[in-house]
Amino acid sequence: MIVGGRLATVVIPREAIEGAPEPDKAVTQAVVDYVNDIQRAGVYPRHEMPAAAMQAYHVEYYLTQVSNGGHSKFIRNTGIAMLPTTSGDVLAGLKAMGAGAQHQILLEVLAWLKASLEEAAKQNGSAVRAAALKALDDRFHAAEREQPITRLAARWIASWTGLRVVGREQYQAEIDRLAQLNPHLAPRRVWQSVQQLRLQTSDDLQVTIAAACGAVKPQPEVKLQVRPGGNMEIEGQQCMAFGVGTDKGARLCAFEKAGGRLYELDGSGQRVAAGARLSTVGADKIRQFVQVAGQMRAAEAIDLLLRKAGLDPRAMITAWEVFDAGVTWIVAAGQTRLAAAVIGNGALLTKPDQTPIVRVAREEIERYAAVAAAGGDSMRPSA
């Protein structure tokens, strides 16, 4: 049910909490799972979700961050830009559940942050932790020993009038039913699908890795996964390197202003190291991929091609060829490997042997892009 523009129902499976070794934790985790599941299925933005559910969700996130790296980690992982929204939910949730001590501590954290923005931006939860935050961490842990948030949260959640506890076999059906209540569901799902492809065609890091995979000779490697990165020494120089999974195995990609370099992963020693260099791609080529992909609406075109071919649009794509008139990507949709060429008059999806699968005209891509844009626009709160 939707009331006042928000979902009014929170659904959790009975089996997730009954008989759990930590019942309070099980209840709070069930709400976290609900938020993730309904936002994925129904594409509801925060302002259309049950307010209490978003508050409980962010309280659990806050508790996890502070427990594993203090308020310094909470600030770093949330990001300065998102802190007002996230902290607003946390403060409201802590107040509603009666966690007065933790509520006061977070208020003091936010006051410190407002007065120390430069220092706050340097926090990382490990090597860099402000003394003022460490003192607040100590108070937080003392408050947790006295009155744990998880216990208070579970009691609060149990009191919600919109809470529904159902059998596990009913849970997904209820998620699907609530998703269908969204009047903007179809265009939002298009927008959601296009967004993950747009990130792969526009983000410098993603395109650098994709282009480095595509530049391997004599045959390109297909990008399947991008893993977390960090500083490491490669070929005698310090650089940022990211783990990459391709159809040929585990790789490392060095990411720099000058471009990217793909290496075999040498796991023979005690530490991860770069093996033989497989490819090099320059910054100019990366910028060209990004520019042409944007001009040609590559994300919308690839999403439309995959849907028309009956394939999962949640694909990983490898930047293969780029020229002024278009761009070609290698598409990994599940176990299927295809090529998507996006040019001025449309786009074509082919098998590896160049057998055509489906073609779309430029007019179709533009109409599809308009649907995706309408879905994105509907996600914004009303003025």
Give the separation between CA 344 and CA 362, rounded to whole angstroms: 7
Please name which of 247, 246, 248, 239 lies closest in space to residue 274, comparing C-alpha atoms.
239
Rounded to the nearest 10 degrees, what angle do helices 100-115 and 83-97 cross at?
A: 160
pLDDT at residue 326, rounded to an integer: 93
Give the separation between CA 379 and CA 375, rounded to whole angstroms: 7
Residues in the chain, how many? 383
Residue type present at position 373: A
Max mean pLDDT among 119-133, 165-179, 269-283 falls in 165-179
Q: What tens digit of pLDDT does each residue of 240-275 get?
A: 999 999 999 999 999 999 999 999 998 776 678 899
Cβ pair 95, 140 in contact under 8 A? no
Domains assigned to the chain = 2-183 (1.20.1420.60), 184-383 (no CATH)
Share of the chain above pLDDT 90, in %: 87
- pLDDT reading at 16 higher than 90: no
Q: What is the mean pLDDT of residues 8-19?
A: 90
- pLDDT reading at 72 higher than 90: yes
Q: For the chain, what is the mean pLDDT?
A: 95
Question: Angle at the Cα of 174 (from 171 to 177), degrees rounded to 5?
Answer: 155
Cβ pair 109, 132 in contact under 8 A? no
Give the separation between CA 297 and CA 371, rounded to whole angstroms: 13
- pLDDT reading at 127 higher than 90: no
From residue 357, alpha-carbon distances to 300, 311, 338 in Å are 17, 11, 9
Give the separation between CA 312 and CA 334, rounded to whole angstroms: 7
- pLDDT reading at 60 higher than 90: yes
Cβ neighbours for 54, distance < 8 A, ≥ 6 positions apart: 35, 46, 89
- pLDDT reading at 312 higher than 70: yes
- pLDDT reading at 150 higher than 70: yes
